[in-house]
Chain A
Amino acid sequence: MAAMASTDDSPIYEGFLCPMCLQNFDSVYQLQSHVESAHGSEDKVVFRRLKGFFGKARHLITNRSEEHFEDVSKDEAGEGSPKKQPLLGTDPFTWENPELGASRSHFESLRRIRSDRMDRTVVEINKLVIRLEKLIKHGPPMNDQAKRKVYEKTIVPWAEDSDVRFCPSCGDKFSLAVRRHHCRLCGSIMCNKCSSYVGIPFCDQVLEAESKGSTSSKQVHAESSPSKKGDVVTLRVCEHCVHIMEKRLKMVRERNSKPVIVQLYQKMIEVREQILRQLPIYEKTAVSILNGEEEYSYERAERERTVLLKYFDALDLLSKKIYSLGSGTDKTLSSAQMKLRRNIRTEVIRFLQDHMLGLDPLPSEKEVIQLRAERKAAIARRLEEERQARARRVQAEALALEKSAQQRAQQQQQAEAKLLDSPQRGHERKSSWGLLNKLKEQAQEVGAGMMVGLTSSGSEGKLSQSPSGWKPSAVSQDTVQALSDDPLIQQMNIISSYLNQAQEAGRWDEVNMLEANLKDLQLAYRQEQQAGR
């Protein structure tokens, strides 16, 4: 494990070097998959120690967030620590349910039964409304009593006086004192006590509600409407019909009314959605700027931040408004109303705590300049290191090639076989680069395979010296690189311009996609440059 020792000592080897073949990688994950594929067949102990190294590395490298890092299992971190006997079963707290439990819907059968009944009610209501319309809007003038009566009788057949001897609702016997009266809407008979009058305004409202599905804001109740005959034109109706009409009116009205709280709430939800859309965009910008990258301008970050803060303010204000709604007026709110308001406010406070207080602060402009300078220096340093490491690796490879030609042939076969077996892990690649990368990987793997047991690298050697199978791949790398250099950069430029357009248009999904693309391209480009060097 001398190679590993040297990585620990020497500050130059800060990148992701394979401790076995000193090859450099761009990310921990790549290194890990390389080790697994190229050195997987080696001694288990070495492998485990290597994983221990990964565990250490995880603590050292904090700047790079690599999701795949989690794959390194926990109990293998920590070099040389005695392996704890793992529990073979599972912790119930980690159990998951793949899907929702069983369920059964009864809605269809409910709807069937309901619509059967509703059809009847609807017919009844519709009939009433049609008659009402005819009575009010058409027919002889209201003051011509005699003609009116005839007309009213044509709309609904009146019950025969002789058939009804008692008032159906109060049971009083009809006589000279207790006169029979007919409901103008359904034609049934009742006594004076049991009948009521509906005024024209009320009827208008009912008709309006039925035709438009909306009502005017002023409310007139049948009870409060004038019931003195002669004052205003009214209709004598039975209680049953009044009830039906009132209920209907109430329903329509309630369905269409929108209390202030609902309007405010809707606005609040809109603002919240805006925030949730805006937040990840700003966070990305802020992180990028904090890292000293120059992808986004400082002004843009500032602008995004101000927008967000404005939204937060609006959200806070709206929720406060909801909370204090109606408390100024004299009628006291019920406890349920209070609870509703309080809970909405509580939720907004939690939302603000979660999202506003956790908002990444922006550095000042001076700091940004400093950060950018630091990053440039760091990149330059890394490139230099990579170059050195690469030089060493080339040396080592050459040495290996010279030393064991036979072993190499064997290893090559093995590696090729492995390559065929193992699907590509993790890395995303553009299809046009697939072949190139494959070849490169092959070369790396074979080279790595031969590094086993080698501890020193001294003699100079050239890759081109290697016979047969090797040369073509190396040559093809060079040629492809030379040819593709321009198109790659072009492609990157094109995507960058798309990106700008998309950002201006505010199409964030596309921005994300394009950014991912750009990153891929940059990665490929960097790899190319390294390969060419």
Chain B
Amino acid sequence: MNVVLAVKQYVAKMIEESGPGMKVLLMDKETISFVTMVYAQSEILQKEVYLFERLDSANREVMKHLRCICYIRPKRENIEMLCNELRNPKYAVYFIYFSNVVSKSDVKLLAEADEQEVVREVQEFYGDYIAICPHVFSFNITGTARGMRWDPPVLNRVCAGLTSVLLSLKKCPMIRYQNSSEMAKRLAETVRQVISKDAGLFDFKRTDVAPVLLILDRRGDAVTPLLNQWTYEAMVHELLGIRNKRIDLSEVPGVTKDLQEVVLSAEQDEFYANNLYNNYGEICTRIKELMEEFQKKSQSQKKIESIADMKAFVENYPQFKKMSGTVAKHVTVVQELSRQVRAYNLLEVSEVEQELACQSDHNEALKRIRTLLGSDKVRDLDACRLVALYGLRYERHQNNNTVGLMEMLRRRGVGDKHRMLVKSIIQYGGEKSRGTDLFGQDNPMSRTRRFFKGLKDVENIYTQHRPLIYETLDQLFKGKLKEGAYPYLGSSQLRDRPQDVVAFMIGGVTYEECLAIYNLNRATPGIRVILGGTTVHNFESFLEEVSSTGIESPY
């Protein structure tokens, strides 16, 4: 059930099958990110793959001494380009792997193009997704919906990706979906169709308890992507943006040239792996420790007096160099984070956000939002967040004052576009389209639970919010997830407690949810949950998502 490993195993297998000798890896725009997410360049060089090329790059040179591993998505244009490639082969032999199901007619086209008999292998290896960490995958698609419906090509892509996840993990699941979402239902049906059309492919060894695919819609919880984050990975994504493990630091004031783009990878970077899910306070402490350790080491490196010192230096040098890279990277990142936190008053903003999401004191909340909207330290972006959150939270409150807050936004000078987006968010995730008990008001049980939660001392006011998906999955494992709200597709139902679950969120997930699922996995014995989303959002990308649905347009 490890998606990173699943893709990695596929790639390793391709390399193994292609035999010894110098190799080139030929990929398309998408597969290149599938591979780079799981393999570091240094790691892949060890396997004699020395060149990485895009299938669509023109003027690739003829290098007949290379063996070519071709890993591409089975798209029309890719097949065409590959056919042209085979007619005039640039490399000695070709090992072709498709990241998804390829049609018989496409195979025939390839066979006809292969006049020089250079093709040695054609296989389907279902790594058709971006594996972010062992329990999270995404497709990097922002903007899934047109109105309340699927954008058809996006539906096909998402369905292909989702089935490839199932195939790579060898799971043939029972499907449940969020009933309030038309899109969830549609995706569930499409996945089902693909599975039944190719039943032989999905015929895996039966486990005692069937795996479950749970399809959810972001509209069910539009609050989570609105919140500022305080755990390392989530915070970096929120404030700096992570794209395929890379973060762009070129905007950071005074950054050196080699740090303009850095890679954060839990596989390669021990510090990051250990601190991925730690909160901001802990990170700052750890960074201090790291700095001190580094200084100690660099001081001991400085005094090279005897030959023994020199030897020690040479022996430690690779680790030392690696460490100095790590230190410089994380110090820069954390410095930038804390600069932004201070400059934009994020602690205060976040406190109000959390209060909005988790408490229910309307007047107090309104008062504090007004104060913050009046502060010029607060970014416009955060002002919008607050108003959107307020709008969602107190949509039905008798003293709802969204209009007043919108007016304040206008007076702050927030542009039309952003004010429209605030409205769109409230529509996107509002009670009508939500269909979930997001704020725990629908049934008396959760209302009391919420009340008691309010009484208890919260451990950390900035991280008290827990995403809805945690609750949903927890209920699923306890067998309490309502049949009406999350029906099964088809007649068969799961009698036992589920064990392996793939939860997929249409409209994207967040790193806060990744952490929540991580914690759920750690806290619940005997279960494994994988979380997937069309993309991983921060607030800005979520705005894009919402605006691309184009709710305001008459549809």
Residues of A that sit less than 8 Å from B by CB = 87-93, 95-97, 99-107, 109-114, 117-118, 121, 251, 254-255, 257-259, 261-262, 265, 269, 334, 336-337, 339-340, 343-344, 346-347, 350-351, 353-354, 357-358, 361
4 tightest A-B CB contacts, nearest first = A101-B168, A113-B111, A92-B135, A88-B525
Does the CB pair A105–B522 fall under 8 Å?
no
Does the CB pair B63–A340 fall under 8 Å?
yes
A167 to chain B, nearest CB (A): 27
Does the CB pair B13–A353 fall under 8 Å?
no
The verdict on A343 contacting B50 (CB below 8 Å), with A100-B9, A110-B122, A337-B61 known, is yes
Chain B residues contacting A354 (CB-CB under 8 Å) are 318
Does the CB pair B522–A357 fall under 8 Å?
no
Residue B451 at the A interface, CB < 8 A? no
User: Please, how many angstroms separate the alpha-carbon atoms of A502 and B1 in the complex?
Assistant: 46
Does the CB pair B124–A344 fall under 8 Å?
no
Does the CB pair B317–A357 fall under 8 Å?
yes
Chain B residues contacting A343 (CB-CB under 8 Å) are 45, 50-51
Which residue on chain B has the smallest CB distance to residue A257? Answer: B64
Does the CB pair B518–A92 fall under 8 Å?
yes
Does the CB pair A107–B528 fall under 8 Å?
no
B226 to chain A, nearest CB (A): 26
Given contacts A336-B51, A339-B51, 14 further A-B contacts (CB under 8 A): A88-B525, A89-B527, A92-B135, A102-B126, A103-B13, A107-B123, A110-B110, A251-B116, A258-B65, A261-B65, A337-B61, A340-B22, A343-B50, A357-B318
User: Please, how many angstroms separate the alpha-carbon atoms of A99 and B53 in the complex?
Assistant: 29
Residue B344 at the A interface, CB < 8 A? no
Residue pairs across A and B with Cβ atoms less than 8 A apart, 6 shown, are: A92-B518, A104-B123, A106-B123, A107-B122, A255-B92, A347-B42
Does the CB pair A96–B51 fall under 8 Å?
no
Does the CB pair A89–B111 fall under 8 Å?
no
User: Please, how many angstroms separate the alpha-carbon atoms of A82 and B104 in the complex?
Assistant: 63
The verdict on A350 contacting B42 (CB below 8 Å), with A89-B523, A110-B119 known, is yes
User: Please, how many angstroms separate the alpha-carbon atoms of A97 and B127 in the complex?
Assistant: 14
Chain A residues contacting B170 (CB-CB under 8 Å) are 99, 101-102
Chain B residues contacting A259 (CB-CB under 8 Å) are 65
Contact of B315 among A104, A336, A357 (CB under 8 A): A357
Q: Mark B73-99, 1 if CB is under 8 A from A, else 0.
A: 000000000000000000010000000
A137 to chain B, nearest CB (A): 28
Contact of B9 among A95, A97, A336 (CB under 8 A): A97
A400 to chain B, nearest CB (A): 44
B257 to chain A, nearest CB (A): 20
The verdict on A101 contacting B9 (CB below 8 Å), with A96-B2, A106-B107, A106-B124 known, is yes
The verdict on A103 contacting B123 (CB below 8 Å), with A92-B2, A336-B51 known, is yes
Does the CB pair A114–B121 fall under 8 Å?
no
Chain A residues contacting B525 (CB-CB under 8 Å) are 88-89
Which residue on chain A has the smallest CB distance to residue B168? Answer: A101
Does the CB pair A265–B115 fall under 8 Å?
no
Chain B residues contacting A112 (CB-CB under 8 Å) are 111
Chain A residues contacting B273 (CB-CB under 8 Å) are 93
Does the CB pair B121–A107 fall under 8 Å?
yes
Residue B46 at the A interface, CB < 8 A? yes
Does the CB pair B524–A262 fall under 8 Å?
no
Which residue on chain B has the smallest CB distance to residue A259? Answer: B65
User: Please, how many angstroms separate the alpha-carbon atoms of A265 and B524 in the complex?
Assistant: 52
Residue B546 at the A interface, CB < 8 A? no
Does the CB pair B134–A95 fall under 8 Å?
yes
B222 to chain A, nearest CB (A): 26
The verdict on A102 contacting B201 (CB below 8 Å), with A89-B522, A343-B45 known, is yes
Does the CB pair A87–B523 fall under 8 Å?
yes
Chain B residues contacting A97 (CB-CB under 8 Å) are 1-2, 5-6, 9, 169
The verdict on A91 contacting B2 (CB below 8 Å), with A110-B122, A254-B64 known, is no
User: Please, how many angstroms separate the alpha-carbon atoms of A334 and B60 in the complex?
Assistant: 10
Q: Mark B1-37, 1 if CB is under 8 A from A, else 0.
A: 1100110011001000000111000000000000000
Chain B residues contacting A100 (CB-CB under 8 Å) are 9-10, 13
User: Please, how many angstroms separate the alpha-carbon atoms of A270 and B477 in the complex?
Assistant: 55
B512 to chain A, nearest CB (A): 16
Chain A residues contacting B518 (CB-CB under 8 Å) are 91-92
Residue B323 at the A interface, CB < 8 A? no
Chain A residues contacting B6 (CB-CB under 8 Å) are 97, 101
Does the CB pair B107–A336 fall under 8 Å?
no
Does the CB pair B318–A102 fall under 8 Å?
no
B59 to chain A, nearest CB (A): 9
Residue B232 at the A interface, CB < 8 A? no
User: Please, how many angstroms separate the alpha-carbon atoms of A28 and B119 in the complex?
Assistant: 56
Which residue on chain B has the smallest CB distance to residue A108? Answer: B122
Does the CB pair B523–A88 fall under 8 Å?
yes
Does the CB pair A336–B111 fall under 8 Å?
no
B115 to chain A, nearest CB (A): 7
Does the CB pair B53–A336 fall under 8 Å?
yes
> Which residues of B in the span 102-136 have a Cβ within 8 Å of any Cβ on A?
102, 104, 107-108, 110-112, 114-117, 119-127, 133-135
Residue B266 at the A interface, CB < 8 A? yes
B213 to chain A, nearest CB (A): 16
Contact of A347 among B9, B50, B117, B169 (CB under 8 A): B50
Q: Is the interface of A mostly helix, strand, loop or mixed?
A: helix
Residue B167 at the A interface, CB < 8 A? yes
Chain A residues contacting B524 (CB-CB under 8 Å) are 88-89
Which residue on chain A has the smallest CB distance to residue B524? Answer: A89
User: Please, how many angstroms separate the alpha-carbon atoms of A104 and B123 in the complex?
Assistant: 6
User: Please, how many angstroms separate the alpha-carbon atoms of A307 and B311 in the complex?
Assistant: 21
B470 to chain A, nearest CB (A): 13
Does the CB pair A89–B521 fall under 8 Å?
yes
Does the CB pair B115–A121 fall under 8 Å?
yes
Residue B520 at the A interface, CB < 8 A? yes
Chain A residues contacting B107 (CB-CB under 8 Å) are 106, 109-110, 113
User: Please, how many angstroms separate the alpha-carbon atoms of A526 and B117 in the complex?
Assistant: 65
Does the CB pair A89–B520 fall under 8 Å?
yes
Chain B residues contacting A87 (CB-CB under 8 Å) are 522-523
Chain A residues contacting B381 (CB-CB under 8 Å) are none
Chain B residues contacting A96 (CB-CB under 8 Å) are 2, 5
Residue B489 at the A interface, CB < 8 A? no
B456 to chain A, nearest CB (A): 19
A247 to chain B, nearest CB (A): 8
Chain A residues contacting B523 (CB-CB under 8 Å) are 87-89
Chain A residues contacting B304 (CB-CB under 8 Å) are none
> Which residues of B in the span 370-398 have a Cβ within 8 Å of any Cβ on A?
none
Which residue on chain B has the smallest CB distance to residue A265? Answer: B22
Contact of B167 among A102, A251, A340 (CB under 8 A): A102
User: Please, how many angstroms separate the alpha-carbon atoms of A75 and B446 in the complex?
Assistant: 36
Does the CB pair A95–B135 fall under 8 Å?
yes
Residue B494 at the A interface, CB < 8 A? no
A316 to chain B, nearest CB (A): 15
Does the CB pair A91–B522 fall under 8 Å?
yes
Chain A residues contacting B461 (CB-CB under 8 Å) are none
Does the CB pair A101–B318 fall under 8 Å?
no
Residue B310 at the A interface, CB < 8 A? no
Chain A residues contacting B314 (CB-CB under 8 Å) are 357
Contact of A102 among B50, B122, B168, B528 (CB under 8 A): B168
User: Please, how many angstroms separate the alpha-carbon atoms of A56 and B444 in the complex?
Assistant: 53
Chain B residues contacting A269 (CB-CB under 8 Å) are 20
Q: Mark B250-263, 1 if CB is under 8 A from A, else 0.
A: 00000000000000
Does the CB pair A101–B123 fall under 8 Å?
no
A332 to chain B, nearest CB (A): 12
Contact of B5 among A95, A114, A251 (CB under 8 A): A95
Chain B residues contacting A90 (CB-CB under 8 Å) are 521-522, 528
Which residue on chain B has the smallest CB distance to residue A107? Answer: B122
The verdict on A262 contacting B65 (CB below 8 Å), with A90-B522, A102-B201, A343-B45 known, is yes
User: Please, how many angstroms separate the alpha-carbon atoms of A394 and B295 in the complex?
Assistant: 56
A454 to chain B, nearest CB (A): 41
Does the CB pair B123–A105 fall under 8 Å?
yes
A1 to chain B, nearest CB (A): 34
Does the CB pair B122–A106 fall under 8 Å?
yes
B135 to chain A, nearest CB (A): 4
